[in-house]
Chains A and B, each alone.
Chain A
């Protein structure tokens, strides 16, 4: 089976499984929404202008919801024993990586697409520009690229899912910083061209860690 076909097959499998129960997606979305609402209460009375904290709120909500989604992506494989099946199939280990990573990315992006208009309404902010969406995509990609590897490890430990945030957050910090900076700058009305440094940073991050993940994922899933 060709690499590309294998990746698509895995993504499609995850989508079909998710369509049946809508488990992961609904919990991710509700969690993100609750996070935004809670932050709203946490800051509202002391912050003069919600626009100042909105980028942070969005990215924290994405981080938390994303962690939830990443966790469940591999827990399901474990519980159903389907990971063993994937490993026996005549496909490259890295195809499994890209398949799981892309399906996690897809779920996160869908959550964000639904969350963003709601946040726009809550805070009365212009968030639905293509620049904002690009920033979100690049950041979410970095998150998923690293998170997939760590999730694969975390589910195999005694502490299970609890370990994922501990492993992930310090490593994924540049994504958070860049995301908040760029989202905030765009909200402040700065031109897209002023963000080149940050874009470069996040591209370096995405590329570098995709390569590292490609090289190391095999070691995470092998028996």
Chain B
């Protein structure tokens, strides 16, 4: 146990350094975007952290669905541990992505919020997984809690693409609101920006994996506590 924990600590340090390096690359090394005001040029650099956050949160919820299916199929607690750990990290990344996106929106579109399809869907995603945790906290029996959460985790993740398309079509049929071309505008990265972006993405992925491993360790400890309690007759 101690050896693998040491391995985890090493990985943690690497992940931390990776994030720092990504920050340096994003803030200093990456070239400026063309054709923007100075304010917008600064704001554009938010992409390097904001987008990986969002992508990783969706990866995390996908892992939760995998854990959910795994639990229903095998009945082994390890899968439920995976599901809940990943969901928790997913929610954190979702919050970070929404908050950073909102802060980017202010200088870019002069508004803190907009009901564009991606953002709206993303808010629903947040609500879905908050509901996931509310379901879990409303249940006491661990086996039942894991089972119900697994069922919900599957429904939740599958609903995301359908919800995304429904919201997107909802907007395009009556384009009464602000023109949506601004959404895609700054996502186009020049050839020099791409390495920075992908490095940042890699750093965040490693960060996610490390967080997940630590969080799984927490669940494992909880499991050990439960076993000892059983041994004591509680």
**Do A and B form a real pair?**
yes
Mostly, the A contact residues are helix
Residue on B with the closest CB to A216?
A: B151
Assess the B138–A157 pair: CB atoms within 8 A. yes
With A173-B166, A197-B169: A157-B135 Cβ-Cβ less than 8 Å: yes
Instruction: List residues of A whose CB falls within 8 A of some B CB.
Output: 146, 149-150, 153, 156-159, 163, 166-167, 169-171, 173-174, 177-178, 181, 197-198, 201, 204-205, 208-209, 212, 216, 219-220, 222
Q: How many interface contacts (CB-CB < 8 Å) are there between A and B?
A: 86
Mostly, the B contact residues are helix
| B127 located at the interface, meaning its Cβ lies under 8 Å from any Cβ of chain A in the complex | yes
Which residues of the partner chain B approach A220 to less than 8 Å between Cβ atoms?
Answer: 147-148, 151
Assess the B166–A212 pair: CB atoms within 8 A. no
Assess the B165–A201 pair: CB atoms within 8 A. yes
Which residues of the partner chain A approach B152 to less than 8 Å between Cβ atoms?
Answer: 150, 153, 167
Instruction: List residues of B whose CB falls within 8 A of some A CB.
Output: 72, 124, 127-128, 131, 134-135, 138-140, 144, 147-148, 150-152, 154-156, 158-159, 162-163, 165-167, 169-170, 173
Assess the A167–B131 pair: CB atoms within 8 A. yes
Using A157-B135, A166-B131, A204-B162 as known contacts, list a sample of 10 further A-B pairs with CB atoms less than 8 Å apart, ordered by residue number in A.
Answer: A156-B148, A157-B139, A170-B156, A170-B159, A174-B163, A177-B166, A208-B162, A212-B154, A212-B158, A219-B148
Assess the B155–A201 pair: CB atoms within 8 A. no
Assess the A219–B151 pair: CB atoms within 8 A. yes
**In the bound complex, CA of A212 to CA of B148 (Å):** 14
**In the bound complex, CA of A201 to CA of B128 (Å):** 20
Nearest chain A CB to B224 CB, angstrom units: 26
Assess the A209–B158 pair: CB atoms within 8 A. yes
Residue in contact with A163 in the complex, picked from B134, B140, B165, CB distance below 8 Å: B134
Assess the A216–B170 pair: CB atoms within 8 A. no
With A156-B148, A171-B159: A216-B135 Cβ-Cβ less than 8 Å: no
**In the bound complex, CA of A222 to CA of B167 (Å):** 36
**In the bound complex, CA of A169 to CA of B169 (Å):** 19
Q: What are 18 of the A-B contact pairs (CB < 8 Å)? A: A163-B138, A166-B134, A167-B131, A167-B134, A169-B127, A170-B156, A170-B159, A171-B155, A174-B159, A174-B165, A177-B166, A177-B167, A181-B170, A216-B154, A216-B155, A219-B148, A220-B151, A222-B147
